[in-house]
């Protein structure tokens, strides 16, 4: 392993070889992805150039290129980037990739994008989102969009488990972050309110919308819940669909989807 690689980079490199298998077998994750794609596709122009942050193994990049878009996929983990490279060779030439932290986006040279996309909480590895968003004006075309899928501080599903899980159910409220453990590596995770996300963008960015993701329905870590309680799962999912765009549920959930438009 690279001696200077950060703990998150180490953890996700170790996870990269079995990431896709775990993802495809998780019905909750698949349901969440479909909601995310519906949100993004309402904003994408035809044949868009997309910059993806924390792209993982390229699952989302492959999805968007299949729709005719081009994706520059970035990730800090060499293992994840290697997986993207293998898929690119086998599938299409619309994906370019680069091992890169989302705080080092100034290393992307002479390229501009219609959309910047970050999925499933990769940005929860930073305590200050301004370290990321400061680079966006140099990368986005006027009128371009940014969508973050990020873990907020309030997750009703986790809070409902307070009796069973004790203090762990309130971990998102720790302002100094909380320690995450993945694949034998330990690193801090930070949870961001909608207000703090909005404050990380300067006045050139216009807030478009936010929506809750898995508000009352189960989180991905309870991937057997739909099989064990199908009727309850359907009911909770239907409630999510009705509530996710309304206050305060548009800022609560396992994740929230938040979109801005660049209007220089």
- pLDDT tens digit sequence for 6-42: 777 676 667 666 777 788 889 999 999 999 999 999 9
The number of domains in the chain is 1
Q: Which residue range forms the structural domain that includes residue 66? A: 7-262
Residue in the structure block whose two tokens are 């207000």? 195
Residue in the structure block whose two tokens are 């159910």? 169
Q: What is the pLDDT of residue 90?
A: 67
The dihedral sign for the CA sequence 97, 77, 35, 257: negative
CB 80 within 8 A of CB 16: yes
Q: Is 187 helix (H, G, I), strand (E, B) or coil?
A: strand
Q: What is the pLDDT of residue 164?
A: 66
Domain CATH for 136: 3.40.50.150
Global pTM value: 0.93
Q: What is the pLDDT of residue 48?
A: 98
Q: Say if 2 falls within a structural domain.
A: no
pLDDT at 153 over 50: yes
pLDDT, tens only, 74-113: 999 999 999 999 888 766 789 999 999 999 999 998 999 9
Q: Say if 1 falls within a structural domain.
A: no
């Amino acid at each position: 392993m690279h001696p200077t690689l950060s703990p998150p980079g180490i953890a996700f490199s170790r996870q990269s070889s079995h990431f896709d298998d775990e993802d495809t077998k998780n019905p909750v994750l698949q349901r969440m992805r479909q909601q995310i794609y519906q949100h993004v596709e309402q904003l994408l122009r035809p044949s868009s150039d997309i910059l993806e942050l924390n792209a993982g193994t390229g699952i989302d990049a492959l999805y968007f290129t299949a729709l005719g878009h081009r994706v520059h996929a970035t990730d800090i983990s060499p293992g994840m980037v290697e997986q993207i490279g293998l898929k690119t060779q086998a599938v299409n030439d619309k994906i370019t990739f680069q091992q890169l932290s989302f705080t080092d986006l100034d290393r992307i040279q002479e390229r501009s994008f219609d959309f910047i996309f970050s999925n499933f909480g990769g940005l929860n590895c930073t305590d200050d989102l301004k370290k990321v968003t400061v680079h966006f004006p140099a990368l986005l075309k006027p009128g371009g969009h940014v969508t973050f899928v990020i873990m907020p501080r309030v997750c009703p599903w986790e809070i409902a488990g307070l009796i069973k899980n004790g203090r762990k159910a309130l971990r998102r409220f720790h302002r100094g972050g909380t320690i995450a453990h993945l694949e034998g590596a330990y690193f801090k995770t930070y949870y961001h309110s909608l207000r703090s996300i909005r404050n990380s963008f300067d006045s050139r960015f216009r807030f478009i919308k936010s929506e809750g993701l898995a508000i009352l329905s189960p989180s991905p870590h309870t991937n057997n819940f739909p099989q064990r309680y199908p009727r309850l799962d359907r009911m909770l999912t239907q409630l999510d669909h009705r509530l996710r765009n309304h206050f305060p549920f548009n800022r609560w959930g396992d994740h929230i989807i938040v979109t801005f438009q660049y209007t220089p």
